[in-house]
Homo-oligomer: A and B are copies of this chain.
Amino acid sequence: MPKALVPKRPPREQVTARIYAAAIRLFASRGYEATTMQDIAVKVGMTAPALYYYFESKQRLLYDVIEINFEHFAGMLDLLVPAEADSPTEALRSFVRTHLEFQLEDVDRARIYNAMFLGTGALLESLTAGQRAEILKFQTKVRGRLQAILERGVARREFAVADFTVTGMGILALGEFAVAWFDPDSRLTVAQVADQCADLAVRMVQAPSRRGK
């Protein structure tokens, strides 16, 4: 008899992973308060008290979910730093593409990330002070990276930027808004959208003398 037909009890790790997945989806779509332990339990096929065998509390579950995602955020952050050789235009393209791929690759994770930045979604309120501080650091770093790219572009006269804040936010908006409308089943692939958005960003900053390729 093939061992595949003998369903071994799944290892603890795998169960917690499934719980995390259910929790992040529910927290991201309904918010922390509006999600009950039973909602999560049903989604993984248990009863609510069973969850307490794996997690000490709902609050802790949220904490862990955020914490896990911090690692992904940090990973994206590393990808956002431009290569020295890149022209400002290339650096900006790369920045926007990375940002969009991050956003569209895992919509639930992105919603958590955005909820934090947008101050919406009733998630921020439920975090610990330490996590909130951590989030601010991410925000500052991402904006700093983008600003550096823009400044370099202006210094080289590749870019013409009227206002760094507004332009920077306009560029970030492309990514944060994308999860709201992108449909993975549509004709557009993630890569295509990312490329298109990179184009839009470049257009936003391109100096008049260099426009029209």
The chain A residues found within 8 Å of chain B, CB to CB, are: 28-34, 111, 114-115, 117-122, 125, 162-163, 165-167, 169-170, 172-174, 176-178, 180-181, 188, 193, 196-197, 199-200, 203-204, 206, 208-209, 211-213
A36 CB to nearest B CB, Å: 10
Q: Report the bound CA distance from A169 to B172 in whole Å.
A: 13
CA gap between A34 and B174 in the complex, in Å: 29
- A57 smallest CB distance to B (angstroms): 17
A213, B204: Cβ atoms closer than 8 Å: no
A166-B197, A169-B177, A193-B166 as given contacts; A122 in contact with B30, CB under 8 Å: yes
Copy number in this complex? 2
Which residues of chain B are near A166, meaning CB under 8 Å? 188, 193, 196-197, 200
A172 surroundings in chain B (CB, below 8 A):
177
A208 to B165 alpha-carbon distance, docked (Å): 25
Q: Which residues of B contact A29 (CB under 8 A)?
A: 119-120
Q: Would you give the shortest CB distance from A125 to chain B, in whole angstroms? A: 6
Q: Which residue of chain B has its CB nearest to the CB of A187?
A: B165
Tell me the bound Cα distance from A193 to B176 in angstroms: 19
**Do A122 and B31 touch across chains, with their CB atoms under 8 A apart?**
yes
Docked pose: A169 CA to B170 CA in angstroms = 12
Partner of A212, one of B196, B204, B208: B208
